[in-house]
Amino acid sequence: MPEAQVSLKKAIRPIHLWAIAVGLVISGEYFGWNYGWGVAGTVGFLIATLIVTVLYITFIFSFTELTTAIPHAGGPFAYSYKALGPIGGAIAGYATLVEFMLATPAIALALGNYMHFLYPSLPVIWTGIGFYIALTLLNFAGIKESAVFALIITLLAVGELLVYMGIVAPAFKMENFLHNSMPFGWTGVFAALPFAMWLYVCIEGVAMVAEEVKDPARNIPKGYISGILTLMLLAIGVMVLTGGITDWQLLANIDYPLPESVGVVLGKDSSATKFFAGIGLFGLIASLNGIILGYSRQLYALARSGYLPVVLAKVGRRRQTPGPALLLGAVIGIAALFLGKTDQLVILSVLGAVVMYILSMISLFILRKREPALPRPFKVPFYPWFPAIALLLSVVALVAIVYYNPWLALIFLAGLVAVLAVFIISGKHREQQAADEVLHVERA
């Protein structure tokens, strides 16, 4: 196997992993989650968020075992391939690409809306495209440059959320938060699950830079666990405080709930409100950058394993970045900007995520039984309870998403059937290349 096709630069340390983990997700605290209020109310969505928080805590501890045992750029694809074979790998690869490649246009649309909030003359979609292109070019520069940028922008984004909570906390009133707080009862809680998952979705993208981490066995658990704890505190704090400053229904269907909330507290014409909306771009940029990094590695890994055209596995000799994969991801993401609404993109992205979570947890159980001697530098605590809880809650989330969004689920399923048909007709399911490549990375 040519070295140029598999060599990614090892330059990522624990602090970079924390920044990538938090940066991948932190835009979820800025927008998208508030659509959950529209289907569940404030208390209903809080319950959904607590359920999803348990899902992600148990999932991340379980997923870390897989990531450290098989530090492969394909992440979930590699785990499912090893446990479930070529078809399982194909389904996991498809689900992961849907998750990451549809999360990016949702974030780009939010960036466009934030900029439009600041400067109404700027068009939403074209502003989003501009950010997409700029961050794709940044990722061409190299993993170290991208990781340093992720660290700086994530620290700024976390700092801003803390400032935001400090601004709105004095205006919090419990009667606002509890007003009409569960208008649709418990059915609304289940309908809100995909929007609650948006507060954490894509954190597993850390797995896709596993081949670029120094000492992955020690450093990946540090990045994952510190990241999920940071996000848990920010998510619940932002969501609860925002729900108590005014009539929450006024914030339930917009792409910029945080600057709108600051406008309620300080006045929309306040210079502080404009300033906050401006620095609010940090969180969105952090996530857009991190997810571009993640999906480019997924495309690269699938191509390297023979699942996608080999040109996507090409790596630049100087920068050691997968340029063709970055370009293809940008083209698909920009096209999606014109095809879907933000809430639809969020739901499809989360649908891909939850399918991948189910496959990953099944893979963990299978590999524990089939390959007990597989080196596992990190083992999930409370096995088998943690992965079982993550698997059960992922299935519940999948059922809820499909039940409340049948047409979007059909679109997802149609894409999966088309991918599997091409995969089987082309005979890729019989090839040994992917198995050899996964084993090569394990040995390395």
DSSP-based three-state secondary structure for 374:
coil
Q: How long is the chain?
A: 444
276: exposed, middle or buried (Cβ count in 10 Å: 0-12, 13-18, 19+): buried
pLDDT given for residue 434 in this prediction? 46
Give the position of tokens 């974030």: 107
- The alpha carbon torsion through 356, 287, 200, 307 (nearest 10 deg) reads 0
What does 306-361 look like in DSSP terms, one character per residue?
Answer: TSS-GGGG---TTT---HHHHHHHHHHHHHHHTT--HHHHHHHHHHHHHHHHHHHH
Distance (Å) of CA 342 to CA 60, 94, 110, 235, 353: 26, 21, 8, 19, 16
- The alpha carbon torsion through 141, 26, 116, 106 (nearest 10 deg) reads 80
Per-residue pLDDT of the chain in tens (444 residues, 90 and over written 9)? 444 444 555 666 777 788 878 888 888 888 888 889 999 999 999 999 999 999 999 998 898 889 888 876 667 888 898 899 888 988 998 998 898 888 888 888 888 887 887 788 888 889 989 988 988 888 887 767 777 787 888 888 888 899 889 989 999 999 999 988 898 889 999 999 988 988 888 788 776 666 667 777 777 778 878 888 898 899 999 999 999 998 888 888 887 788 888 888 888 777 777 777 666 678 888 888 888 887 888 788 788 777 788 888 887 677 677 878 888 888 988 888 887 677 788 889 889 999 999 999 999 999 999 999 888 888 888 999 999 999 999 999 999 999 989 999 999 999 999 988 888 887 665 555 444 444 444 444
- Helix 124-140 vs helix 76-118: crossing angle, to nearest 10: 130
pLDDT given for residue 370 in this prediction? 92
Beta pairing partners, 44: none
d(CA 324, CA 316): 9
- 44 and 192 in contact (C-beta within 8 Å)? yes
d(CA 265, CA 356): 40
Cβ-proximal residues to 226 (8 Å cutoff; 6+ apart), any chain:
14, 18, 21
Which domains are present in the chain? Answer: 3-436 (1.20.1740.10)
